[in-house]
Structure formats: C-alpha cells, structure tokens
C-alpha cells in the first residue's frame, strides 16, 4: 500500500495533465510536454528503467547529483531513496526546470533544482529548445529554438557537491565532461548515453573516461542507452530491470 497516500491526496485533481508514477505524482501539461511523453506517462513506461535503478542504487543518507532532471522524476525518486540525504538537480530548459520544481514541491521531496546547464566550462552557452523537451540540448536540431543559458562546469559541481551518486542525462555532453573531473567521491553512476549525437565512438570514450576514474560497467543493470557504473562491485547483487515491452531496450525519454 505504499502508493495509497499520494494517489488519495491527488485523486481529486487527476486530469490529462497529472499522472501517478508509482508513488510519485507528476504534472505534465501540454504544452510544453509532448504527446509522446504524456502517452508514456499514461502507460507508466516513461523513465521506468532510470527510476528503478535510482531506487536501488541510491542509499539512505547519500548525496545525489541529478544532471538533466527533466520533469523531476529521477530527482524525486532519489530524494525518497536517500531519505535525509541531499539531492541537487540540474535542468537547462527554464520551462521544464519550473515544472520540475513544481513536481518536487507536489511530492514533498527535498531537492534543490538549479536552472542551469552542465558543460566542460562555466559560462553562458547556446541551448536549443525543441518542442519535445527530451530532444533539447546544446546541439542544434531541426525545428529547435536557440536560447542563451548559464552553464556550470561539471568538474566544479562535482567538487562543490561531492556526490555519492550521479544520475546523468545531458544529451551528448557526457562525451566532454567525465575526463575533466575528480570523481573520487562518487561510488555509483547512472548515465544515459546518446550515440545518435556523439556516435558509438563517443560512447566508448565515456566508458573509457570513467574506467580511468576507477569505474566498472555493471553490464547486467544496463538497459538500452542507460548505463550503470560502480567502483566496488556492490551493485552486482541488484536484479536487472525488466520491462513489459523489451523491444530495443530503450525507455521513452
């Protein structure tokens, strides 16, 4: 009955804009959220692998850094798993960051949302906003709108926060940042890679950069483009995520 509280609390406001994802209640209005994402939320197959992994990899008291938090699902899941731990979340898109903040408050989660991008160097960057927010990135895309945003350097954020766990979905920037940081505080990582942006060679570079920092790929926990890394093999005892529809192994979003 773990889902009972949130479902009863928000049942009166259920609409086409509000979705229950396990024990998390998410508002996802159109606009700005695309029809495909809303459909996935309705079918309960949006970021399900990521949420499963976060719940199993984040431990009580952990400090968590969530990069590219989107609607806030993974950040909220991390906050629930960490209990009294700290969760810091980055989301570059100002509209989506505001919605993530709203969802965090709705669920009573303790998450610090920062409306900034993550890059190799700190500064003002071009960011390309797409109608489907999951396609928004630092890289130009068809039918995307260019805006200017502030970005923090990945290495500076790691040094500041000293996270135990990093969750990373930054639409291709992962290729550029891992080698630049001291990741000694980090024990586990969930990284969504984007070969359509950085190519297979870029993905291989990410894996090698993390290997240099002492991380091993936990192959049985990887799901499509979502990769899991740890330092000590403690994640090997976690059962793999299984989807009801394992076609190409890629969750929507």
Asked whether the CA dihedral 251, 246, 194, 177 is positive or negative, the reply is positive
Rounded to an integer, the average pLDDT of 17-28 is 94
Q: How far is residue 232's CA from residue 161's CA, in Å, rounded to a whole number? A: 21
Confidence of residue 40 (pLDDT cuts 50, 70, 90): very high
* Res. 69: pLDDT tops 60: yes
From the options 3.90.1170.30, 1.10.3720.10, 3.40.50.150, 3.40.50.300, give the CATH code of 16-117+125-237: 3.40.50.150
End-to-end CA distance of the chain: 28
Please give the residue that has the higher pLDDT: either 215 or 136: 215
Question: What b-and-e string marks burial along 21-44, b requiring 16 or more CB atoms within 10 Å of the CB?
Answer: bbebbbbbeeebbbeebbebbeee
Residue 135: the pLDDT is: 66
Put simply, whether the predicted model's pTM sits higher than 0.85 gets the answer: yes
Residues of the chain with pLDDT > 90, as a percent, come to: 75
Rounded to an integer, the average pLDDT of 139-150 is 85
Domains of the chain, residue spans: 16-117+125-237
- The per-residue pLDDT for range 80-128, each reduced to its tens digit, is 999 999 999 999 999 999 999 999 999 999 999 999 999 999 999 998 8
* Res. 134: pLDDT tops 90: no
Question: Which helix H or strand E contains 216, and what residues bound it?
Answer: strand 216-217
The edge-to-edge listing of strands for the beta sheet with 216-217 is 112-114, 87-90, 64-67, 165-168, 188-192, 226-230, 216-217
């Amino acid at each position: 009955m773990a889902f009972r509280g949130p479902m009863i609390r928000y049942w009166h406001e259920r609409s086409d804009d509000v979705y229950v994802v396990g024990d998390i209640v998410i508002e996802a209005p159109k606009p700005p959220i695309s029809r495909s994402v809303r459909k996935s939320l309705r079918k309960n197959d949006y970021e399900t692998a990521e949420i499963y992994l976060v719940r199993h990899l984040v431990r009580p008291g952990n400090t968590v850094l969530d990069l590219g938090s989107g609607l806030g699902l993974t950040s909220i899941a991390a906050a629930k798993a960490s209990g009294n731990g700290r969760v810091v979340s980055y989301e570059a898109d100002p509209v989506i960051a505001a919605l993530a903040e709203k969802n965090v408050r709705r669920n009573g989660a303790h998450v610090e949302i920062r409306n900034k991008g993550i890059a190799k160097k700190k500064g003002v960057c071009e960011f390309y906003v797409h109608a489907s927010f999951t396609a928004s990135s630092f890289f130009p895309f068809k039918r995307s709108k260019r805006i200017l945003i502030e970005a923090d350097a990945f290495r500076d954020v790691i040094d500041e926060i000293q996270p135990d766990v990093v969750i990373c979905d930054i639409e291709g920037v992962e290729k550029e940042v891992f080698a630049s940081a001291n990741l000694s505080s980090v024990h586990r990582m969930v990284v969504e890679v984007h070969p359509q942006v950085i190519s297979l060679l870029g993905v291989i570079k990410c894996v090698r950069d993390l290997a240099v920092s002492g991380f091993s790929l936990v192959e049985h926990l990887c799901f499509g483009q979502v990769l899991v890394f740890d330092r000590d093999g403690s994640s090997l005892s976690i059962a793999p995520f299984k989807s009801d529809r394992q076609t190409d192994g890629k969750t929507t979003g």
